Amino acid sequence: MAPILDINNLYKNYGSVEILKDINVAIEPGDFLVLVGPSGCGKSTLLNCIAGLEPITGGTLSIGGKDMTHVSPKDRDIAMVFQSYALYPTMSVAKNITFGMKVRGVDAATQESKLKEVASQLQIEQLLHRRPGQLSGGQRQRVAMGRALVRDPKLFLFDEPLSNLDAKLRVEMRSEIKKLHQNLGATMVYVTHDQIEAMTLATKIVVLKGGVVQQIGTPAEIYNRPANLFVADFMGSPAMNLIPAKASKNGSGTQIEIARDGAAPLVLTDTHAENLPQDVILGLRPEDIAEAGFRAGEDVQVAECHIDMVEPAGADTFVVSELGGKQVTARLHAETGAESGKALSLAFDLSKVSYFAPGSGERLN
């Protein structure tokens, strides 16, 4: 199956400043691609390049098998949903949704049919006669989405569409967008700085930093096997624990020694790790450090740790301990008896460990 979107060696410069560097991304029909990264990483610029709103400096870009590198936005068969909604304030919701079809010369019967279909999908039938100023933020975002949906394009582009909404409404709208994607089978490209949003929505994620792609993969691949320290730290809440350690061969496995302030080093044996350099960064998600007795298996090792802080969080309790000069977080069950200032036996699941090179930050295993 040919990619619906194929980006090859794309560069974008503003004068002498490189904003995007050698971007290569391809997605299949029906994919939900999320571009994620911190502010200034180039994700919105890349979306604008896909839309044709920004000319590219180098490389090629095709949509639906056709070269769109120098094609104007109106001829790219795309629909875009902006962060700012961009609705016409003097028009009703119905006219906002159908205006694009009217401009393109779509007949009135088709306009009415598409309007009813989209209004039903977005549950905004009762809002069609209102104007944008009479709507809440969430309702305005639904209208902006409706205006894109009636086009039935090859690509839907979303530029941080939920960033103006409060936390509760963001979660609700996130679910609506995911449901729409599943129901329509449409191909979507979505920009966000929120890694939870990225993990929830995407079938494929592109992690960007400084205009460079750090990793491309499914949410599970990005979360479980981050390509480098940046991805490991950026994706996940709480972030992956990244602990400086010393590695040395020990019989059939590798001994991992982690320094502790005022106490003997924590020593773990990883029977799967091979050919590690002496200095490594050990990465372990908070959920892979449990209270002893709540995690079992041949790769689980238990060690007593001093607890510096306990943070109840409803269904979970997070405890923090200092290991390797870093604050290390463990995700425990809500009923844990952990107390600040006391020792607690923690179980480390070494089957879930990632190792990184301290200098380059690249993954080692």
Dist CA 96 CA 271 (whole Å): 62
Q: Is the pLDDT of residue 155 over 90?
A: yes
Banded pLDDT at 193 (limits 50, 70, 90): very high
Q: Give the tokens for residue 312.
A: 């109840």
Q: What distances in angstroms separate CA 286 from CA 12, 45, 121, 347, one per listed residue?
A: 38, 33, 38, 11
Any idea which of 90-99, 233-242, 249-258 has the lowest mean pLDDT?
249-258
pLDDT value for 72: 94
Q: Are 332 and 317 in contact (CB under 8 A)?
A: yes
pLDDT value for 176: 84
Q: Is the pLDDT of residue 355 over 90?
A: yes
Q: Which residue has the higher pLDDT, 206 or 118?
A: 206
For 313-351, the pLDDT digits (tens) are 999 999 999 999 999 999 999 889 899 999 999 999 999
Classified as helix, coil or strand, 222 is helix
Q: 226-245 in b/e burial notation, b at 16+ Cβ within 10 A?
A: bbbbbbbebbbeeebbbbeb
Q: Which residue, among 175, 174, 179, 210, has the nearest Cα to 192 in the 3D structure?
A: 174
Q: Is the pLDDT of residue 291 over 90?
A: yes
Q: Is the pLDDT of residue 164 over 90?
A: no
Q: Is the pLDDT of residue 357 over 90?
A: yes
Dist CA 181 CA 33 (whole Å): 11
Domain 241-356 has CATH 3.90.226.30: no
Number of neighbours of residue 278 by Cβ within 10 angstroms: 9
pLDDT value for 109: 93
pLDDT value for 335: 87
Structural domain spans, the chain: 5-234, 241-356
Nearest 5 degrees, angle CA 231-CA 159-CA 175? 80
Domain 5-234 has CATH 3.40.228.10: no
pLDDT value for 183: 84
- Fill in the amino acid letter for 38: P
Banded pLDDT at 267 (limits 50, 70, 90): very high
**Shared fold status for 5-234 and 241-356:** no
Q: Is the pLDDT of residue 251 over 90?
A: no
pTM score, two decimals? 0.91
